[in-house]
Structure 1
């Protein structure tokens, strides 16, 4: 079986491969067009107990996952060693995600915008989901005008994530009418979510 992931940025090729692993597919090949994807796929294969064979095909790469029942199903997950993947994770407790910006990091805004889209896609495909996602300040732009993030947030909402969006912030940016997903909330409710969480993750 071949999975064509050419043209896809990480972590998408890894997520596509991991879905085949979750189906107990023992042998399959992923086609990618960049060396970073090859490295991430190699780490995924090793952590899941697969042998891996990589070949260069012109400007592209072919990464073959080769497993057997004993090595694959008896392997340790090793998910913590996989960088930028949506491999299965153990839910360790009640946690919330706080978004005060519409990008990740403080560097180039274009890069930060691309990273935030990839983050929410990866989060929506994973198994360790926050109880709530809280949007304030610039963060309210994500559920309002960022269509790609909105699509991922809809998946997260369907999977049980509570999405709260600061009403004062929406009003400040004149985005109230443009909110596409989530509940318009207030500082009291958002503070209660933060205080009641075992862990708060801020990007």
Structure 2
């Protein structure tokens, strides 16, 4: 089963920030342990902060990239947050590429 993961926040679900941030970190780490990895992991909105050089999620995102996952951060978002030079893993994507990924036949996972 081919699938793509969309991360639009640094948090997963709703509730106390400490809990929801921990859930997101656990989700990303669990992806590293799965035999079947996503084809693409796309971060946009606040999700781009997960790929910052000092982010707690960075090592797991690097492990995913090293295993062949296409790890992408939204260029518009990194520009908005003035963090283009702070991305520690993967590449910067464009809106046409995001649309192509969203329109693919892959299952979309959005935690």
Please tell me the TM-score bracket, short chain as reference.
over 0.9
Query: Which residues of structure 2 form unaligned runs of 5+?
Result: none
Aligned-residue offset at 1:151: 0.2
Could you say what the CA RMSD is over the residues aligned between the two structures, in angstroms?
A: 1.2
Q: Separation in 2 of the partners of 1:148 and 1:127?
A: 22
Q: 1:182 to 1:161 in 2, by over 3 A?
A: same
Q: Which has the bigger relative contact order, CA under 8 A and spacing at least 6?
A: 2
Correspondence for 2:59: 151
Is 1:98–2:6 an aligned residue pair?
Answer: yes
TM-score, normalising length: structure 2: 0.93
Which residue of the partner structure matches residue 87 of structure 2? 179
Tell me which moved more, 142-151 or 123-132.
Answer: 142-151
CA distance in 2, matches of 1:126, 1:198: 17
TM-score, length basis structure 1: 0.52
Shift of 1:146: 5.1
Q: How many residues align?
A: 111
Partner Cα separation in structure 2 for residue 197 and residue 98 of structure 1: 15
Q: What residue ranges of structure 1 are gaps of 5+ in the alignment?
A: 1-92
1:163-178 matches, cutoff 5 A: 163-178=71-86
Q: CA deviation at 1:169?
A: 0.3
